[in-house]
Structure 1
Amino acid sequence: MRLERLRLLLPPLLTLLFGISEASHPCDQISGSYNDWSSNAISKEVVVVGGGIAGLAAMKTFMENQVPNAVLLEAQDYLGGRVKTHREGSILVEDGAEWINGGSSNRLYGLAQSLGFLTQPLQTSDYDWRTKTSEGDDANAAGYDVANEVFNECEEDSVKINYRETGYGQCYLDRFPNWYDNGLTSPDEKAAWENYLHMWVLKDTGTNTWMDVSGRDADHFTDWGEDKWNQWSQGFDALTNHLKSSIPQNNIKTSTPVCKIFWDSDPVGKVLVVTATQEAYLADYVLVTASVGHLKDRHFQLFDPPLPSNYQNNLNNIELGVADKVQLGWQEPWWDTTQKKPLNLHIIFKNFNLPAEQSWLYGIMEFLSIHQQTNMLQAFVTGDKARQMENMSSEEVKEHLLSHLRRVTGQDVPEPTLFRRTQWEKNVWMKGSYNSYIPVTGDAAGLTSREPLAKPISNSQGVKVIHWAGEHTSNTRYGTVDGAMDSGETAAFAIIDDMDTYY
């Protein structure tokens, strides 16, 4: 507790002594006391905190199981969380989730198919497929084959189990030299293709290095085989709309951040939830589906009393990676003006001689045409490279990308008609994106699975009043939309079972 008091005192001390101040959080502006808020509170059976896929799936479950006195409170002005589709004219891009991971084994595959929104992927031969160095030379494409073989081998459960006590990246480091040294590609490019594989793994994890992720955590993930790159033809928010359609409009409130949760202060065991808009709800149960990045950042301010120390420790021992996207669009594909094929451009770095301000580009290992739109390109940027990019101006980011593409392709890349980049780390309600992970240090500290993060918290009367959902609570499908959806449904049914027990 001493460390927490110091953490809370540090910002005002910095402001007083050095004129340094933190950006104000929307919840720092609320005023009032517990008695003020509770006296005007609206009674609810359940308050769902967060309108991402987990929260929407939970609300849909409540509505379909005779729990109508529930409300969903979403901090942002849209629903879906890390499912966020952007439309601009005929252009459709995804800021967050994009693919139905695992193909037909994923329940979302069948759902998208039943709704008439399932796309079938293009064949490799349909792409303008290139491997280049960052200086614009042709790279030996056999290096990609090596990286692909090693990536797929380390995804197998029978392999991952051998790295339960070490960083997941050790699997790649062990196997890459053996594949590469079998003469499959040119020796002078070996380090460059190993770095490419490293970036590939980081695109999946959002971490700074492939040695961050606990091999045990990676082993828990259920892999349904190689992704088939199926997408939602009308945007991933078709799933958001599908879930929302079962929920009465009055049961959802957007632009309503939850700022305080008093979970053990009421004499009859209710939970008081206070929002930034000064609304208050007195609920039997609260289901928290917020991003684990937001929870790590704000749980001391959010919960009163503080969460139990064991749960705080669990939050300290899990991380949320960051995987941002940069997206560019043109009227016509400049890379292939004849056949107008979509582009699949793979880049390796044999030299790391970019200007310091452009060093974030080292995090990009490919540019890919997206949503079968041949005039669009997209790249992922992860970890510290993403944070560096997020803190630059949009104009700087765009100019860096254009100069990089011109250098790599040797072509005259025109100014794009569309440019976008995500900033998930800067979003105070997310503080990251895509994939939570248990680092090696978290595993060593005792968090060996996600199950403790999904365990409800009981008040002093023994009632499980705080429940949890979200991708970070899924032990086998974390970092996926289907995992988030399943967690919301599971938590909702657990609350319904508790209602039958106590009421």
Structure 2
Amino acid sequence: MEHRGDPSQPPHPADILTGNYEEWKNSAVEKEVIIIGGGISGLTAAKTLIENNITNILLLEADIRIGGRVRTYRQGNLSVEEGAEWIHGGERNPLYRLAKQLQAVVPSLPDDVWDERVVTNNGRRSDPLKYEVVEELMEEADTNGILEPYYHTGYGQFYLDRFPEAYGKGWDSTLGQAWLHLLEKTVNAEEGTNNWLDMSARDADQYVAKGQDHHWRNGFGTVVEYLQESIPDDVIRLSSPVCQIFWDQDDGGGGGGGSKVLLVTNNGRASYSAGRVVVAISVGHLKERHQDLFRPPLPVSLVKDLNSIELGVADKIQIGWEEPWWGSKDPLSVAILWTDRNLPKDMEWLYGIVEISSVTQHPNVLLTFVTGEEAKVMESLPKDSVKRHLMRLLATITGLQVPEPILFTRSQWGRNPWTRGSYSSYITVEGDRSGLHKRQKLGMPLTNSSGKTVVFWAGEHIHNTRYGTVDGAMEVGEQQARRLIRKMKESGDQTYSKSTRVVNGIK
């Protein structure tokens, strides 16, 4: 829902041009570089610029906090992740090496400590060995070359084609189809997609894994704090949503290649001017708002590529107690097979939940994912209703009374106006067919009509092989900042030249 006149929300289109361009231009606070977006990619870009002695910068963050889709929720001694959950990989992942350097890596729990169960939605135990079918198919999908025949179709089609043979006799029975449903929802959660048939198999094939997952000690917010330490407080301006970006304007505001980019924030109540701008906002927000944000509009080719990518909605629900109540002291992992579909209408979003498991650092806290349309429905419900529905499901699948929890939290990334999605973007099938095969096309900077490169792009969605990861967002933020620095050097920007001489002098 739009809130007209509320600076904490994106402006309503009718409100955008109520100001005067000349007034905005004349009152603009001048900076050398402005970064839009205080997520991991934007923070990394700021850190990289500062480390290269480009300090006359400003980072504009629309929200009341930095970190973007990294958000650690803390309650007493408990810390859980509403956003990014894992460091994906070991020594090959620079984020893992950073966490290790900060002594912030938490090892995964060994397999033999878990209380693992497979049950139907009515609480009946089922054959846990069939879970190997799910695991083996997901591993098979990572085999080199196996997805090539599916490059012009959906990623999920590979699984639909392979499932009957992998499952064997009874694959089309009620129980077999419940396992297929579990596989589908598991893949959607793994990839962050709304629908596994909507994700291009070519895009899925380009992701490069870097080993086992790890957790951050004391929360993923540790990496936000690490990045923030390098950035002076006065560089970051919170609650400053950008509502207009004049990136190719003459002195009269009518278009014609001015040397500066003019940014208007807070529904016209503040303005800033910079020689270069890094746009590091969520691709979900960018897709929704680009027509209102950019003056002149973005190039048609870039808009076409933006329309070829989606940001999935994958939400978390976390519920915790002081001690386990599920019949054992071990951390719980329960897979749910929906053999019956008899829920009341308002509870049908629960069909999107196929696994509930303990959080590594807090085994008495249970975590579940819900994706796509079910996630959107869940987000629309009152928090108390979501809690009540989940507790009813837990009672049914365990056959036990569920005590009142001490912690309950759910994410709403789809409803968040600054994200409009969660952790992973994906090229759609139609996007692949229209020609977007490599994400770096989305990272090509904008050059104005005077030939000056003025707008640079950052964010996880630009990384070809590590999209949907924090390390991918960091890498893109650094790459785009270094690209900007090279452009400054090539054009002989005065401030950059001075900074370079100082650095060389130290060397």
TM over 0.5: yes
C-alpha deviations, 1:122-166, integer Å up to 9, x for none? Answer: 011111111111010001101111111101111233322332111
SS in 1 for 2:106: coil
Establish whether residue 471 from structure 1 lines up as the match of residue 460 from structure 2.
Answer: yes
Name the counterpart of 1:253: 237
Matches within 5 A, 1:102-181: 102-181=89-168
Name the counterpart of 1:205: 191
Query: Which of these residues, 205, 229, 235, is aligned with residue 219 of structure 2?
Result: 235
User: How much identity, in percent, do the aligned residues show?
Assistant: 47
In 1, Cα distance between the equivalents of 2:325 and 2:229? 41
Q: 1:459 to 1:406 in 2, by over 3 A?
A: same
In 1, Cα distance between the equivalents of 2:244 and 2:194? 33
In 2, Cα distance between the equivalents of 1:132 and 1:198? 17
In 1, Cα distance between the equivalents of 2:90 and 2:314? 22
- TM-score, scaled relative to structure 1: 0.92
Query: Which of these residues, 405, 409, 426, is aligned with residue 437 of structure 1?
Result: 426
Matches within 5 A, 1:371-386: 371-386=360-375
Query: In 2, are the aligned partners of 1:342 and 1:372 still within 8 Å (CA)?
Result: no
Establish whether residue 499 from structure 1 lines up as the match of residue 488 from structure 2.
Answer: yes
SS in 2 for 1:419: strand
Establish whether residue 461 from structure 1 lines up as the match of residue 450 from structure 2.
Answer: yes
Name the counterpart of 1:18: none
In 2, Cα distance between the equivalents of 1:162 and 1:380? 30
Letter in 2 for 1:369: S
C-alpha deviations, 1:348-394, integer Å up to 9, x for none? Answer: 11122211211111111111111321210010010000000011111
Query: Which of these residues, 275, 285, 292, is aligned with residue 294 of structure 1?
Result: 285
In 2, Cα distance between the equivalents of 1:191 and 1:269? 60
SS in 1 for 2:168: helix
C-alpha deviations, 1:308-353, integer Å up to 9, x for none? Answer: 111111111111100011110111111135xx21111111111222
Query: In 2, are the aligned partners of 1:126 and 1:342 still within 8 Å (CA)?
Result: yes
Letter in 2 for 1:153: E
Name the counterpart of 2:318: 327
**Greater mean deviation of Cα atoms: 439-448 or 129-138:** 439-448
SS in 2 for 1:158: coil
Matches within 5 A, 1:340-351: 340-351=329-340
Query: Which of these residues, 73, 78, 83, is aligned with residue 96 of structure 1?
Result: 83
SS in 2 for 1:96: coil
Letter in 2 for 1:96: G
Query: In 1, are the aligned partners of 2:3 and 2:11 still within 8 Å (CA)?
Result: no
Matches within 5 A, 1:480-499: 480-499=469-488
In 1, Cα distance between the equivalents of 2:206 and 2:25? 42
In 1, Cα distance between the equivalents of 2:334 and 2:90? 23
In 2, Cα distance between the equivalents of 1:367 and 1:194? 17
Residue 435 of structure 1, CA deviation:
0.8
In 2, Cα distance between the equivalents of 1:99 and 1:318? 23
In 2, Cα distance between the equivalents of 1:126 and 1:274? 54
Name the counterpart of 1:190: 176
Query: In 2, are the aligned partners of 1:92 and 1:371 still within 8 Å (CA)?
Result: no
SS in 2 for 1:381: strand
Name the counterpart of 1:215: 201
Query: In 1, are the aligned partners of 2:115 and 2:331 still within 8 Å (CA)?
Result: yes
Query: In 2, are the aligned partners of 1:168 and 1:218 still within 8 Å (CA)?
Result: yes
Letter in 2 for 1:403: R
In 1, Cα distance between the equivalents of 2:348 and 2:240? 38
- For the aligned residues, what is the CA RMSD? 1.7
In 2, Cα distance between the equivalents of 1:145 and 1:413? 30
Name the counterpart of 2:502: none
Dislocated runs of 4+, deviation >3 Å: 21-26, 28-31, 185-188
Name the counterpart of 2:441: 452
SS in 2 for 1:173: helix
Letter in 2 for 1:194: L
In 2, Cα distance between the equivalents of 1:188 and 1:421? 31
C-alpha deviations, 1:246-282, integer Å up to 9, x for none? Answer: 1111111111111111001144421001111722111
Establish whether residue 365 from structure 1 lines up as the match of residue 362 from structure 2.
Answer: no
Structure 1 unaligned spans of 5+: 1-20
Query: In 2, are the aligned partners of 1:101 and 1:229 still within 8 Å (CA)?
Result: yes
Query: In 2, are the aligned partners of 1:204 and 1:435 still within 8 Å (CA)?
Result: no
In 2, Cα distance between the equivalents of 1:23 and 1:275? 15
Name the counterpart of 1:224: 210
Query: In 1, are the aligned partners of 2:194 and 2:313 still within 8 Å (CA)?
Result: no
Query: In 1, are the aligned partners of 2:187 and 2:196 still within 8 Å (CA)?
Result: yes
Paired residues in the alignment total: 478
SS in 2 for 1:231: strand
Query: In 2, are the aligned partners of 1:132 and 1:408 still within 8 Å (CA)?
Result: yes
Name the counterpart of 1:33: 20
SS in 2 for 1:293: helix
In 2, Cα distance between the equivalents of 1:428 and 1:453? 21
Residue 238 of structure 1, CA deviation:
0.5
In 1, Cα distance between the equivalents of 2:185 and 2:65? 31
Residue 186 of structure 1, CA deviation:
11
Establish whether residue 68 from structure 1 lines up as the match of residue 55 from structure 2.
Answer: yes
Q: 1:464 to 1:358 in 2, by over 3 A?
A: same
In 1, Cα distance between the equivalents of 2:464 and 2:196? 20
C-alpha deviations, 1:32-57, integer Å up to 9, x for none? Answer: 21111110111111100000000000
Name the counterpart of 1:48: 35
